[in-house]
Amino acid sequence: MPTIVPVSRERHAAKHWKPFQSYAFARQSALVPLVAAEIPKAAMAMPLAFIRQGDQTLPVALMGLEPDKNVFVARDGRWLGPYVPSGLRGYPFSLARTEADTLVLCVDEDSGLVVDGPEGEPLFTAAGEPTEGLGRILEFLQQIERNRVLTSQACAALARHELVHTWPITLGGTTGERRVEGLFQIDEAALNQLSDEAFLDLRRAAALPIAYCQLLSIQHLPRLGELATASAAVPAPAPAASGFVLGDEDVLHFNWDRPETG
């Protein structure tokens, strides 16, 4: 279970951090959030979908169709695709929003990458200032967050014009078929029938590239099955705090309730 805490001088002045060498930490991430700036690259490598989080519609990279199983992570921790979503590249760091609606830099202290010894790079200088390396991580995460605002606005425009519809996916298996629920896709027919005014509204909101990239990315859906078959010998991971949860026997439900940060 991750222990995600704010980075502070009081707690981390003497700590070092090591860049991750394995994607094993993402093994249970069946979905990974995306931002608009990376969607064209992601669409060339993996299927994309939308999820509903409260009243928001958000784009995600579809990493697997089984509960808590990322088929892009090999047994030895290697990444098997040509593109890695930005949401994974800042690990073990992340940004969290406080009750005062400000963003703070956090770190997963159970990642094994935050250490006491001299190995790795210090988080703070002897004068108590963030190191250059920590500053680069913070800037990278801030860039993602800034683009997330634009992404949210674009997806809101897609939803406003009723272009995001349920994506019915059925999985076959030895025990019969199961449905995957909670994922959404662009309705191509509705997109093609938009009025000129609505089309212009989507263009102004920078929503059209997201829509077309999601449609293009559907071609990669069979790749999930191919990767899952290739990694069938991988032991089942421990249950995760969020992701797919198995409901009744023939329906896979998706929830997006994130654990609280502490």
* Higher-scoring residue by pLDDT: 255, 31: 31
Q: What does the block give as tokens for 5?
A: 């805490």
User: What is the mean pLDDT of the segment spanning 12-31?
Assistant: 94
Instruction: Give the three-class secondary structure for 157.
Output: helix
What is the band of 179 on the pLDDT scale with cuts at 50, 70, 90? confident
Alpha-carbon distance of 145 to 153, in angstroms, equals: 13
Residue 118 lies in a domain: yes
What is the band of 231 on the pLDDT scale with cuts at 50, 70, 90? low
pLDDT at 173: 57
In angstroms, how far is the first alpha carbon of the chain from the final one?
12
Task: Measure Cα distances from 127 to 9, 123, 134, 159 in Å.
Answer: 10, 11, 15, 49
Residue 140 lies in a domain: yes
Percentage of residues in the chain having pLDDT higher than 70: 85
Q: How many structural domains is the chain composed of? A: 1
Does the model's pTM come out above 0.85? no
Running DSSP on this structure, what letter comes out for residue 261? P
Residue 18 lies in a domain: yes
Average pLDDT, the chain: 86
Q: What does the block give as tokens for 13?
A: 């002045």
Residue 191 lies in a domain: yes
| Beta strands at 178-180 and 251-255: parallel, antiparallel or unpaired | parallel
Q: Identify the bridge partners of residue 254 per DSSP, sorted by sequence position.
A: 244
Q: Identify the bridge partners of residue 147 per DSSP, sorted by sequence position.
A: none
CB 219 within 8 A of CB 86: no
Alpha-carbon distance of 116 to 114, in angstroms, equals: 7
Only one residue has tokens 């949401």, namely 87
Domain that holds residue 32: 4-255
Only one residue has tokens 């981390």, namely 12
Residue 262 lies in a domain: no
Of 55, 87, 11, the residue nearest 164 (C-alpha): 55
Residue 260 lies in a domain: no
Residue 111 lies in a domain: yes
pLDDT digits (tens, 9 = 90+) for 137-177: 999 999 999 999 999 999 999 999 999 999 988 876 555 67
Alpha-carbon distance of 209 to 49, in angstroms, equals: 14
pLDDT digits (tens, 9 = 90+) for 70-119: 999 998 999 999 999 999 999 999 999 888 889 999 999 999 999 997 88
Residue 234 lies in a domain: yes
| Neighbour count for residue 112 (Cβ, 10 Å) | 11
